[in-house]
Each structure stands twice: as structure tokens, then as C-alpha cells.
């Protein structure tokens, strides 16, 4: 099923309030599952400066999904480069930072369309590979990314010391 009348476009500063609201949904889910790592949702503008900085990065992009005038998702991505690291293959990478879809618009194709926009942007920037990190507890996201042809490549481990 596809989101009705979904428009994918670059994010604008006028989208910041809606981006912060969407990010609160993500913060709630992540804090509930990993409270030692993720801060509780603030219910407000605590993260506004962070998201504002994501709007126009020199080496990245932020796309939003808009349905019937309402922002229903967003994705951030940045370029990185392994060409100066002698023991790695020389690659230009696109690292997806955050992808969030409003709870009432999930499973309608919004996330897939946001990823398509990032992939097109990455191809335009001569990127060799898309990469992202997904939390171990987030099985829905892992299944979504598998359907989008992402494969496991590494694993981040943590050990609490305090």
C-alpha cells in the first residue's frame, strides 16, 4: 500500500517544528527500549538545534515526506569517504543517519520513498555504497531495511562500565 499523495522533497527551515515532533516519536521508542543510551523525549524543543543543523549540511541532505500538507517522515544522510584510509577499499559512502515515519503513516511506503530519494541523491554524488546503523532492539526497522536490500556488514557492541 502507498501513502496517498505523498510528496518527497528537501527539508526547509519552515519544517523544523514538524521534524522535531516526528523526532519525539523516535525518541520515545528508543528511550523505552534503551534508556541507558537514549534520553527521554523532551516534549518540546530540546533537540531543535540538532535538527536545525541537519537541514543544510555541507556534505549531506535531509528529505521530508509530505502527505496532504502534513510532514509524515524524514531522513538524513551524509557523505563520507574511505579513500584516505589505506587499509580500506577506497569508497565514497552515504551514511543514513535518521529515518523516521509518523506512527499513523507506517507501512504505507513512506520510508521506502524516503530511501529512494536518498539513493537518487547518493547516485548523483557518485556514491559507491549506502550504509546505516540500526538498533538491535528495532526488529521492525531491521526487517524494513532487509526488504530494501540492505545487508548486515558489521556489529556495534557495547559494555557498560558505570
Split at pLDDT 50, 70, 90, the class of 3 is low
Q: Is the pLDDT of residue 1 over 60?
A: no
Mean local confidence (pLDDT), 133-147: 95
CATH of domain 6-147: 3.40.630.30
More confident site: 86 or 43: 86
User: What is the secondary structure of the chain as a DSSP string?
Assistant: ---TTEEEEE--GGGHHHHHHHHHHHHHHHHHH-TTTSPPP-SSSTTHHHHHHHSS-TTEEEEEEEETTEEEEEEEEEEEE-TT-TTS---EEEEEEEEEE-GGGTTTTHHHHHHHHHHHHHHHTT-SEEEE---TT-HHHHHHHHHTT-------------
Mean local confidence (pLDDT), 44-72: 92
Split at pLDDT 50, 70, 90, the class of 4 is low
The region of weakest confidence among 43-57, 63-77, 98-112, 141-155 is 43-57
Q: Which residue has the cell 528511550?
A: 31
Q: Which residue has the cell 517522515?
A: 73
Q: What angle do CA 7, 9, 11 make, to 5 degrees?
A: 130
* C-alpha cell, 33: 527500549
Mean local confidence (pLDDT), 119-130: 98
Q: Is the pLDDT of residue 2 over 70?
A: no
Q: Is the pLDDT of residue 79 over 60?
A: yes
Q: What is the pLDDT of residue 45?
A: 80
Which pLDDT tens digit goes with each residue over 52-61? 999 988 899 9
Give the C-alpha separation, 116 to 138, whole Å: 21
Q: What is the pLDDT of residue 54?
A: 94
Amino acid at each position: 500500500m502507498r501513502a496517498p499523495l505523498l510528496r518527497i522533497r528537501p527539508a526547509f527551515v519552515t519544517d523544523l517544528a514538524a521534524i522535531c515532533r516526528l523526532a519525539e516519536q523516535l525518541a520515545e521508542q528508543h528511550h523505552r527500549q534503551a534508556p541507558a543510551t537514549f534520553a527521554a523525549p523532551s516534549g518540546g524543543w530540546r533537540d531543535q538545534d540538532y535538527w536545525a543543523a541537519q537541514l543544510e549540511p555541507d556534505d549531506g541532505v535531509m528529505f521530508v515526506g509530505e502527505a496532504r500538507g502534513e510532514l509524515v517522515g524524514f531522513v538524513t544522510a551524509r557523505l563520507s569517504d574511505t579513500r584516505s584510509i589505506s587499509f580500506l577499499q577506497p569508497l565514497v559512502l552515504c551514511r543514513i543517519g535518521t529515518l523516521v515515519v509518523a506512527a499513523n503513516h507506517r507501512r504505507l511506503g513512506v520510508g521506502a520513498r524516503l530511501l529512494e530519494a536518498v539513493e537518487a541523491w547518493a547516485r548523483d554524488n557518485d556514491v559507491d555504497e549506502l550504509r546505516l546503523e540500526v538498533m538491535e532492539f528495532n526488529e521492525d526497522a531491521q526487517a524494513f531495511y532487509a526488504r530494501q536490500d540492505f545487508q548486515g556488514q558489521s556489529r556495534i557492541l557495547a559494555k557498560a562500565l558505570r
